[in-house]
Amino acid sequence: MLDTVLPADPATSGVSLAGLLADRAARGDGPVFGFEFFPPRDEDGSRLLERSVAALEPLHPDFVSVTYGANGSNRDRTLAATKFMAATPFRTVGHLTCAAQSRDGISATIDAYAEAGITHILAVRGDMPGGPGVPWQQHPEGLANATELVRLVKSRGDFCVGVAAFPDPHPSTADPDLDARILVDKVGAGAEFAITQLFFRADDYFALVDRVRALGCDVPIIAGIMPVTSVNQVTKFAQLSGAEMPTVVSDRLHAVAGDADAVREVGAEIATELAVELLRGGAPGLQFFTQNRSVATREILARLLESRRW
């Protein structure tokens, strides 16, 4: 599977994502939109991914990305899914982490991306095997952090590199000012854009932007949004990412928790409201965490594009 190729759309190709962000900011042409997918675990997952990508194609996203599994078959599935994306009309961003990997292993993945024609990489430190609750430990032949990873990626080719940003404090430090300084360091190492972890309050995003701008850094920060399709799913995801779910959001979801269709509808309303507030406040773009399912993302983005309320 993962061999279905959609017809090329010249509107989404050519210029780098960093260039597109700069161009749209200069011309006032509006935000960029992107979708994040994860590598499928089996053939059924591959077919689901293909259907989701095809269903989102009419919305002409500006970029798509595929999350990264660092070890063994996980890494192979990541590369396969990213190569599949690279054969579609979409500007493709390959994820890369430095968790539990040697420098040589990371370099081999960077080179594999390059060989597949992938010129965008999202460089993040990543979690240890076992999840975010496992304390970070540098591989004895590896890299210490995402800043070093950015430098390595930039040293191996002409890549447009993005990095993670944290509207809610990173759970390992709980220090928003440190998060901002680290983001600025990553930009100094060569990063050209950032994408946030999921969050639920627009004010948290704008506070992050203010902290980064106060340090003299103007890197574009794309806001990451999770469309809620399951109360249990988003609660677990928020716990893993360190994002705090506001009571007003939790109450709206739990009020309809017994009705799956109502949960999806309320989730779409919450995400649309957040997206509108972010875009009105000047966010240069949005990335939707699709969880490899397209319905909720299609609904939210279609509402945004139809209303143009920003």
Q: Which residues form the catalytic set?
A: 36
Cα separation values, 32 from 29, 63, 73, 262, 276, Å: 9, 8, 32, 29, 13
Tokens representing 260 are: 């799956």
Angstrom distance (rounded) from CA 60 to CA 38: 19
Tokens 């240069």 correspond to 284
Convert 56-123 into a string of H (helix), E (strand) and C (coil).
HHHHCCCEEEECCCCCHHHHHHHHHHHHHHHCCCCCEEEEEECCCCCHHHHHHHHHHHHHCCCCEEEE
Q: What is the DSSP letter of 128?
A: P
C-alpha–C-alpha distance, residues 126 and 112, integer Å: 19
Structure tokens at 208: 């992050």
**Closest CA relative to residue 35, chosen from 304, 309, 301:** 301
| Dist. CA 268–CA 120, nearest whole Å | 29
- In this structure, the number of other CB atoms found within 10 A of the CB of residue 155 comes to 11
